Amino acid sequence: MRNISLKNVGIWLDFKIQPENEWMKFFDKLENANISECFINANANQLDCLISLAKNYNLNIHGWIWTLNRPYDEKPSKNLNWYSVNKNGQNSYEYRPYVDYYQWLSPFSEGAREYIKNNISKISSIDGLSSVHLDYVRYCDIFLPLNLQKYYNINQTHIFSEYDFGYHPNGRNSFKNKFGIDPINIVDAELLKKWKQFRCDAVTSLVKELQSIAKNKNKKISAAVFPYPEMSKEMVLQDWSSWELDIVCPMNYHHFYGGDIDWIADSVTKGIKHKKSDGMYLSGLFLKALSPSKLNEAIKSCLKSGADGICLFNDEYLTKEHIKIIKSF
C-alpha cells in the first residue's frame, strides 16, 4: 500500500496537424493515464481548437510559449536590434550559439518586449485556457549542463564571451547610468555580481509585465524553468525565485547534469521553497532518460521531497509501461 499519491501530472507536447478523431484518441490516452495538465506548443487558433475538443475530458490546456528564444520568427528577423547581444558584440540572430534554433531576443529591447507582450496578450485572450506557459524566459546558456558540454565538445571552465549574453546597447547604457561603468569593462568582482543581477532583473521585470497581462484576462501564469534558482541564475541568468508563478515546472533533467534519482530529489528540495504559497510545483522529468522502474523511483522521490506533482517531457516518449507506473500511484 502506497503512502503517497500522485494527484497532478502534466505533459509537454507540440501541436500536430491531424484529424480531430486522432486528437480525441490522444486525449483518451492521457485521461486514461491520469494526466490532466497539457502544456501545448501551439498558436492561438490551434489552442482554441484543442480546448474545444478537450471540453468533455478531465484535461487542462496550457499555452506553451517560447518567450525570448524565437527561432525562425519572421517579424523579429526584420528587427535585428531586438536580439540579445553577447560580450563580443554579436547578436543572437547572426551568431547562433550551440544550435541554429538559438535566436534570442533581448529583454533590454523595447521593441522585443512589446512584441513578446503582444504574443502573450493573444494567448491570454483564449477562452478556457488554464495558463499561459512561459518557456525560454531567460538568456542563452552561459554554461551548459556537464553532459551537454561533452555532447558539444565544449569545456566551459569559465565564462566564454561568445556565450555571455545580455550586452544589448540599452542594457549597457542603463547599467552605466546607474553604476558609472560600461559592463563590458568590468573587472571588479562585486560589480560583476551587480551586472549579473541587473540582467536577471531585466527578465524578471518582463515576467511581471506578462503576469499583469495574463491576470487582466483572468489567466494564470506557469513557466518551465531551470532546476533551482541558485543554478538557474548561474547558468542562464534566470532568477525565478521572485516570479510568484501559479505553476512552476523546474526541468529536473538529471541526465543532463550527470545525476541520478537522488539528484532529482535534491533539486526539488532546493527549488520547492521558492514556490508561491498557493502555487503548484510540478517536477519536470525527462521521460526518454527514465525506464518505467526509474520513473517509479523518480515520482516517489519528487513527492517525498515536497513536489505537488510531475510534468513529463514529452508525449513522444510516453510508453504503455510508463502509463502503468503513473496509474499505480
Cell of 2: 502506497
Question: Based on C-alpha coordinates, what's the Rg of the chain?
Answer: 20
Mean pLDDT, the chain, as a whole number?
97
**Measured between alpha carbons, how far is 53 from 239 in angstroms, rounded to an integer?**
36
- The pLDDT, as a whole number, for residue 99 is 97
Q: Is the CA virtual torsion 206, 207, 212, 218 positive or negative?
A: positive
Burial (CB < 10 A; 0-12, 13-18, 19+), residue 309, is buried
Q: At what angle are helices 292-304 and 320-327 packed, to 10 degrees?
A: 30
Phi, psi of 152 (to 5 degrees): -90, 5
For 190-244, write each residue's pLDDT tens digit: 999 999 999 999 999 999 999 999 999 999 999 999 999 999 999 999 999 999 9
- At 185 the three-state DSSP class reads helix
Cell of 323: 502509463
- The pLDDT, as a whole number, for residue 137 is 98
CATH class of the domain at 8-327:
alpha beta
Cell of 309: 506533482
Give the H or E element holding residue 75: helix 74-77
- The pLDDT, as a whole number, for residue 2 is 46
So where are the chain's domains?
Answer: 8-327
